[in-house]
Amino acid sequence: MKHLLSIEDLSRDEIEEILDTAVSMHEVQHRDIKKLPTLRGRTIINFFFEDSTRTRSSFELAGKWLSADTINLTGKGTSISKGESLRDTVMTIDAMGVDMMIIRHMASGAPAQIAQWTKCSIVNAGDGTHEHPSQALLDAYTMRNRLGDLEGKHVAMVGDLTHSRVFRSNLLCLRKLGAEVTLVAPPTLLPSGMGPWAQAEDVTVSHDLDAVLPTVDAVMMLRVQRERMSGGFFPTAREYAVTYGLTKERLRLLPDHAVICHPGPMNRGLEISGDAADAAQSLVLDQVSAGVAVRMSILYHLLSGEGTSA
Amino acid sequence: MSPARDQVPEFDEGTPGETAEVSGRVVLAKSEITRALRRIAHEILEANKGAQDLVLLGIPTRGAPLARRLAASLHDVEGVEVPVGTLDITMYRDDLRSQPVRQMERMEVPEGGVDGKVVVLVDDVLYSGRTVRAALDTLADLGRTRAVRLAVLVDRGHRELPIRADYVGKNLPTAKSERVSVRLAEVDGTDQVVISGTEGDR
């Protein structure tokens, strides 16, 4: 495994290997000395063209805790703002001899394109509305921790599916791990080209959140991405919250064992109420904590082992 | 470019995780393994003047059951429960970049940690010393021990680092071409140490 561009590229065994290693990596987070010598002498660039709190800082911590040297770059502070092309910028960084670039970009497919231009390992940390594979892996890890093996478990993903790369990666990941998925969204926020998923046996589509909630093991609320919306996808925020938000009242519909996930950042009061976000079943902060462990595992799998030297 | 496998310094793992029958000369049978562990338990107690502050940490795979057996022996002799754990050294190996990616093992540090404790590292075979080097680095990241000792079932020589064991079940002079296989009931279903790969055995 050289790059992590899409969950599509991973087999079920590879996903499980990454999640299993993350269990041991998670243990390091509770040590006094949070440091492993594993990636000593390796250099990782965090190249983020879009804002991010969780993903960027957790990739940076993951690299640091594995003893790699990490550098953060944003689109703004680089020569891109002087008019240099993306290709020239990444080739410049590549020429400095880095081992890995972790890329977040507003254009779908940018990390895959960059992988063609450089020799180093590329990790997709979110590209446009395409994928966010490390998020899907950490979501699976968090759910697996609480629910056990995900085979046969029922997960509902609710909200803005059209603009969500988290949803796309999670759908692939959960199905590979044997979970059944229900997609709940207003018709305007269901991605076009739903054909292949709508026909799959393990994927169902619903517009009725109240009917779905009592049957789930996990419900994943997706952020309403106002910054990607160009038109009227729903009449008002209030109406969206009433119809598709995880409100205090809806919380009662969930089975006792069911868990609530949200990849963050949350719009409290819109897709998720404060009560739901802070409820005992909410795994929002567990997801963040698992994020570092899962990303350590990803870096380890991509940067150690035979034939990985750049 | 990764170096060819035979140029990589060999890690002193006793036996890979296989359970198939190993052919060769049996150098330690079940009763001798038990006797050796009992003797080591006595030696540990004598050197430590009792069981206070002792912690046993086994190095996976076969060091872990050996550490548990040693703890049982210590209990038989002294009537004290000595804390036992396992120390995963995977991330500290010096050959991570020249080998395929390895899956980590379980790390179990007993409650109370290792600070101020006399830690006895337990492994099945002492060979190049690189596993022990990695184990010492791992331990240093877990806390500050008062002392670290090393107990091994078999010392087969060929050290590549200045490391020696404090407690040895059996010193077994070997050729580098030979293979020492430690088999334990907990992992392999039987207890024996077999040496193979020599002309005389065939």
Comparing CB atoms, the residue among B91, B100, B142 nearest residue A38 is B91
Per-chain mean pLDDT for chain A? 92
Write out the binding residues of A for carbamoyl phosphate.
54-55, 104, 132, 135, 264-265
Which pLDDT score is estimated for A79?
A: 86
Which pLDDT score is estimated for A57?
A: 95
- pTM of the prediction? 0.86
> Distance from A33 to chain B by nearest Cα, in Å?
6
Question: Where are any strands of DSSP class E within A148-235?
Answer: 154-158, 180-184, 203-206, 218-221
Contacts of B30 (CB under 8 A, 6+ apart): B190, B191, B192
Q: Contact B92/B150 with Cβ under 8 angstroms? A: no
Of the candidate ranges A95-109, A132-146, A229-243, the one whose mean pLDDT is the lowest: A229-243
Q: How far is CA A242 from CA A98, A245, A249, B101, in A?
A: 49, 6, 10, 49
Q: Which candidate in A2, A17, A24 is best for mutational testing of the B interface (most B CBs within 10 A)?
A: A24
Chain A positions in Cβ-Cβ contact with residue B88 (cut-off 8 Å)? 24
Put simply, the answer to whether B103 touches A21 (Cβ < 8 Å) is yes
Rounded to an integer, what distance in angstroms lies between the CA atom of residue B27 and that of residue B193? 6
Chain A positions in Cβ-Cβ contact with residue B92 (cut-off 8 Å)? 36-38
Rounded to an integer, what distance in angstroms lies between the CA atom of residue A273 and that of residue A266? 9
Query: What is residue A192's three-state secondary structure?
Result: coil
Rounded to an integer, what distance in angstroms lies between the CA atom of residue A37 and that of residue A12? 28
Chain B positions in Cβ-Cβ contact with residue A302 (cut-off 8 Å)? none
Residues B125/B130/B131/B134 CA torsion (nearest 10 deg): 160
Put simply, the answer to whether B103 touches A20 (Cβ < 8 Å) is yes
Rounded to an integer, what distance in angstroms lies between the CA atom of residue B134 and that of residue B142? 13
Question: Nearest chain B Cα to A32, which residue?
Answer: B142
Which pLDDT score is estimated for A181?
A: 95
Over residues A99-108, the pLDDT tens digits come to 999 999 999 9
Instruction: Tell me which H or E stretch contains A81.
Output: none
Write out the binding residues of A for L-aspartate.
82, 165, 223
> Distance from A304 to chain B by nearest Cα, in Å?
5
Query: What is residue A169's three-state secondary structure?
Result: helix
Relative to beta strand A69-74, strand A154-158 is: unpaired
Domain ranges, ordered by start, for chain B: 30-175
Which pLDDT score is estimated for A82?
A: 87
> Distance from A119 to chain B by nearest Cα, in Å?
13
Put simply, the answer to whether B91 touches A308 (Cβ < 8 Å) is no
Over residues B92-141, the pLDDT tens digits come to 998 888 888 888 888 899 999 999 999 999 999 999 999 999 999 999 98
Over residues A43-90, the pLDDT tens digits come to 999 999 998 999 999 999 999 999 999 999 988 888 888 889 999 999
Put simply, the answer to whether B2 touches A307 (Cβ < 8 Å) is yes
Name the nearest CA neighbour of B148 among B131, B125, B165: B165
> Residue B1 class from Cβ within 10 Å (0-12 exposed, 13-18 middle, 19+ buried)?
exposed
Which pLDDT score is estimated for B66?
A: 97
- Domains in chain A (CATH in brackets) are 7-132+290-303 (3.40.50.1370), 133-287 (3.40.50.1370)
Over residues A153-167, the pLDDT tens digits come to 999 999 999 889 999
> Distance from A166 to chain B by nearest Cα, in Å?
27
> Distance from B145 to chain A by nearest Cα, in Å?
14
Contact residues of B toward A, CB < 8 A: 1-2, 88, 91-92, 96-107, 137, 141-143
> Distance from B116 to chain A by nearest Cα, in Å?
15
For chains A and B, what is the number of CB pairs under 8 angstroms? Answer: 51
Which pLDDT score is estimated for B7?
A: 42
Put simply, the answer to whether A33 touches B92 (Cβ < 8 Å) is no
Name the nearest CA neighbour of A40 among B76, B141, B178: B141
Which pLDDT score is estimated for A172?
A: 94
Chain B positions in Cβ-Cβ contact with residue A296 (cut-off 8 Å)? none
Which pLDDT score is estimated for A12?
A: 97
Name the nearest CA neighbour of A70 among A113, A100, A106, A34: A100
> Distance from B151 to chain A by nearest Cα, in Å?
25
Which pLDDT score is estimated for A310?
A: 43
Which pLDDT score is estimated for A308?
A: 53
Question: Nearest chain A Cα to B4, which residue?
Answer: A306
Mean pLDDT, residues A219-245 taken together: 85
Put simply, the answer to whether B97 touches A20 (Cβ < 8 Å) is no
> What percent of the residues of chain A are helix, what percent strand, and what percent coil, each to the nearest 5?
45, 15, 40
Rounded to an integer, what distance in angstroms lies between the CA atom of residue B195 and that of residue B202? 11
Question: Is the per-residue pLDDT at A229 higher than 80?
Answer: no
Chain B positions in Cβ-Cβ contact with residue A25 (cut-off 8 Å)? 104
Q: How far apart are the first and last CA of chain A?
A: 13
The overall longest dimension of chain B from CA atoms, in Å, is 55
CATH class of this structure's domain B30-175: alpha beta
Which pLDDT score is estimated for A32?
A: 80
Query: What is residue B56's three-state secondary structure?
Result: strand
> Torsions phi, psi of A183, nearest 5?
-100, 125
Chain B positions in Cβ-Cβ contact with residue A38 (cut-off 8 Å)? 91-92, 96
Q: How confident is the model at residue A192 (pLDDT cuts 50, 70, 90)?
A: confident
Chain B positions in Cβ-Cβ contact with residue A24 (cut-off 8 Å)? 88, 104-107
Per-chain mean pLDDT for chain B? 88
Chain A positions in Cβ-Cβ contact with residue B2 (cut-off 8 Å)? 306-307, 309
- Which ranges of chain B have pLDDT less than 70? 1-22, 198-202
* A positions 50-89 inside 8 Å of B (CB): 66
Name the nearest CA neighbour of A286 among A262, A305, A253: A262
Q: How far is CA A127 from CA A10, A11, A134, A213, B37, in A?
A: 17, 21, 12, 30, 58
